[in-house]
Amino acid sequence: MNRFVYVYILLGGVFLLVTCEDRPNCTHEPDAFCPVLEGDIYIGGLVNIHRVTVVTDNSLTEGPIKEKCLDPYDHGMFTSLSILYAIDEINAGTFLDLKNVSIGYMLSDGCRSRSVALRGASDISTGECGINETPIAIVADTFSGSIGPVANYFQLTNTPVIAVWATSVEFTDTNLYPTFFRTVPNDNHQADALIDIVQSFNWTWVGALATDENYGRLGIAHFREEAEKRGICIAYEMYLPTVIDTKSVTEAVDLLMNNPNVKVIITFINSGYEVAKIFKECDRRNVSKKIWVGTDVWIISRIFADNTYYNVIDAAFGTSVEEVRNEDFWNYFLSRTPNNTNINFWFNEFWEKTFDCSLYSENRTVMNQECWSHSLEEKADEFRTYIDFTTYNAVYAIGYAIYDIIECSPPNGLLKDGLCPDVSQLEQWQLMQYLRNVNFTHHIKDRQFMFDENYEVLARYTVYDWKRTPENTVKIEIIGEYDKSAEDGNYLRMNNSAILWDGGTSKKVPTSVCSLPCKPGTRKLHDTKQPICCFDCVPCSSNTISTNEDQSECDKCAEGYYSNDENTECLLKELDVLDWSDPGAIGFLVWSGVGCILTFITIAIFYVKRESEIVKSSSRDLSMILHVGIVFGFLSPILFIMSPTDTLCQLRISISSVLDSLLLSVFLIKIYMVIQIFNRGKKGKTMTNLKIRLKRYRLLIVSMITGFQILIVVLAFFASPVKVVKDVTSSTKTTIVQCDTTLITFMWNDLFNLILIVVCFVFAFRARKMPHNYHEARFISVVMTFWIIIFLVSITTHLFTVGKLQPIIAIMFILILYTLILMMMFLPKCYLLIVAQSRQNSEPPSPKAVVVKSGHRNFATSNETLSRESGVQDCNSSHNEFSTHL
């Protein structure tokens, strides 16, 4: 076996030497060689075999400026082999039969340089590669920075250029680049994918580093535009030279250090080598715990696979064009050696760089057997991240366009009048017309392939994550995908559970925010001078809440609800009404009960003593009306304790005003009787007719006055009805429920009562100088005085109080008034009926009067004087004409 390997290597070396000797221009310099394959139709390939261009002679003394390509580029080799493999597969008719039409190729190195790429384009199109044929289309692996001049160059001959790696959005404009196609999505889609990744982790405060060219500036511009729509802010932006120098690296790291709260860095940098410079400086200056989100240019670059200085990275994510592994090509690639490819000079440099060895001695005459003995299988894991699918698709798109031309028959052609191109004399513009309309089912993914109106393909990306290995190296793994064709709109799908943070030691997602999220109960307050992601958290105002984090506005509580102290929940407001369980209500009910009991006691005393002169002289029928009115007056607070309704509100004021009219009518008759009896007795006139008239009409008068008030109440119900109103704004924690009684309502219902009070007060004032025999008139004057005070004060306070304070004041004044009436009108009589008469009955009769002291007054204990002192009106006791039977 060892002999066979040795012979195989030896023959390969001889083949290389012979091949070079047979070509007079062969110098083993990578930029002096154009691999070619003869065919009926030619495809040009512009690939980045090297990544650095240096000027070797700028003197202009022996010729023009000379440039040299250095540093073999792994990705360019991968692309080159993809072109060769796809063309070989088409020519073999494996998946596509071109009917004996073969495809050839001419390849040139672009060296990631505009000038070298243009020179390569010129070599391909002008026969400098040794074949005097013009390529029908160009497959370009050059990056966005150098593809523009190349596209413009081939636009002169209407040659379609299919880019397999240039993603800058500037090439979407088909007016500027009408011959430009690409099998990769533009950077706008990649920026959208990066935004989705950032948003999926709730990061809102990010930094941005980009290359100072169209790729970097346009990528960041679109990222910024879409990020603002989603509430993501860019804390800073920095644009770096295409080849980053030491000063730029230092400034970039200074920026990272000056913004420690920016944990996430978005990068649109066009080379992994330039990113590596920043990582090295971060490591040197101990800048760690950063999360890097990158694009396909560097996120899958092989240069990061075997380095150990990336402890500065907390995590790294990125997207690259959809990874579709073609296993046949993969096996083909791994089987390549320096003696079995058509691009030996390029491949040799690639081989030597990959295995860090030399195939030949310094004079290139002796082969290094150890270097030849390697196999690409050894580096399979390192190369697995490279994508061949976009290049493979580009070649097959050209192949299917040629197939459509071969199969074309008039009048189904795409040219004028339905004509078809002649494949033997095919022109570039004719192929471009068919490329625009190419549509085929892919034999690998079993899905449709076509170009859209911008000559691009649907955006599909693979999402990668960097994992730290036990050896402290980087392992690039697939953790998700981004598919713009997803019908549910959920374009990004990631396996977040597979992600490790903090150098692979934690599953807790780090935060990167300008301001910490506002807790429930607060809202975000933005400063117009700061980015939208920077804000203060202020408590929600009264009666508003926030239940989620980061609410911009607080939600107002519904009517009848209020916010708790933390402003996180709306609570039902308590009704501000006088409840049965309220201590004040209980006290008023006790007061009412005692008042009713005392009233019933006086009724009982008056009934038992109904034949006594005191009772008779008090007008039993009027006294009974007073008793009934007082009882209902003591019971009326019940209406004020119950929860108010429209009906109850109307009953409150109506019943109170009717009861007032009933009692005032009795007082009016009583005081009028006192004045008339006194005046007639004083003039010595007979009072018999007056006695009869008053006795006959007094109940009628009471009924008329009360009935008139009832009529007023009915009219008031229609003119100014009383309704329940709920005030939910005046109080924070209570809903004020009250009767909407206005001054007009009181005037309607109580104006007549006010007139009666004034009349009674005037009559009582006239009776103020009567003898002590007419104490009842004085009692009435006291009652009227307090009544008018209570009436005015109660209305005034009622109009300026709210909530349950209204019924409390109303009940208090009602109870005070009826207690005063009971005390002034009946308690003195009861005292005389029980206490004074019991003393009189217990003493022996005497012709002399017995004086009973009560307070500072003397009461004659005779029946006649008892009647007078109790308030009984007797103006002519000697004749007893009027007596006490009023």
Q: Where are the beta strands (DSSP E) in 183-303?
A: 205-211, 233-240, 264-268, 290-294
Cβ neighbours of residue 362 closer than 8 Å, sequence gap 6 or more: none
Give the whole-angstrom CA distance, residue 34 versus residue 20: 13
Cβ neighbours of residue 530 closer than 8 Å, sequence gap 6 or more: 514
Cβ neighbours of residue 525 closer than 8 Å, sequence gap 6 or more: 535, 536, 537, 538
Q: Position 61: which residue type?
A: T
CA angle 99, 103, 109 (to 5 degrees): 170
Closest to 162 in 3D by CA, of 190, 133, 186, 184: 184
**b/e 428-461 (16+ beta carbons within 10 angstroms → b):** bebbbbbbbebebeeebeeeebebeebbbbbbbb
Closest to 271 in 3D by CA, of 71, 468, 457: 71
pTM: 0.64
pLDDT value at residue 542: 85
Closest to 537 in 3D by CA, of 517, 557, 554, 556: 517
Altogether, the residues listed in the chain come to a count of 886
Give the whole-angstrom CA distance, residue 328 versus residue 340: 17
- 545 near 568, Cβ under 8 Å? yes
- 267 near 210, Cβ under 8 Å? yes
- 192 near 226, Cβ under 8 Å? yes
Sign of CA dihedral 801, 806, 810, 816: negative
Give the whole-angstrom CA distance, residue 470 versus residue 473: 7
| DSSP letters for 649-677 | HHHHHHHHHHHHHHHHHHHHHHHHHHHHH
Bridge partner residues of 350 (DSSP)? none
Alpha helices in 230-309 (DSSP H): 246-258, 272-284, 296-299
pLDDT tens figures, 459-501: 999 999 988 777 777 778 899 999 998 888 899 999 988 888 8
Give the whole-angstrom CA distance, residue 414 versus residue 752: 104
pLDDT tens figures, 378-413: 988 778 767 788 999 999 999 999 999 999 999 999
Segments of the chain scoring below 50 in pLDDT: 1-32, 846-886
Give, as one character, the DSSP assignment of residue 585: H
Give the whole-angstrom CA distance, residue 442 versus residue 448: 6
Place of tokens 């004041």: 809
Cβ neighbours of residue 570 closer than 8 Å, sequence gap 6 or more: 545, 557, 558, 561, 562, 563, 564
**b/e 825-840 (16+ beta carbons within 10 angstroms → b):** bbebbbebbeebbeeb
Tokens of 750: 């109580």
- 139 near 394, Cβ under 8 Å? yes
The H or E element spanning position 327 is helix 327-334
Closest to 207 in 3D by CA, of 239, 242, 173, 237: 237
Place of tokens 């494949």: 423
Closest to 326 in 3D by CA, of 278, 388, 264, 370: 388
Give the whole-angstrom CA distance, residue 735 versus residue 559: 9
Tokens of 508: 């807790």
pLDDT value at residue 265: 95
Other Cβ atoms less than 10 A from the Cβ of 284: the count is 12
pLDDT value at residue 693: 57
Largest Cα separation within the chain, whole Å, is: 175
Sign of CA dihedral 163, 164, 168, 173: positive
pLDDT value at residue 682: 55
Helices 743-766 & 646-683 angle (0-180, nearest 10) = 20
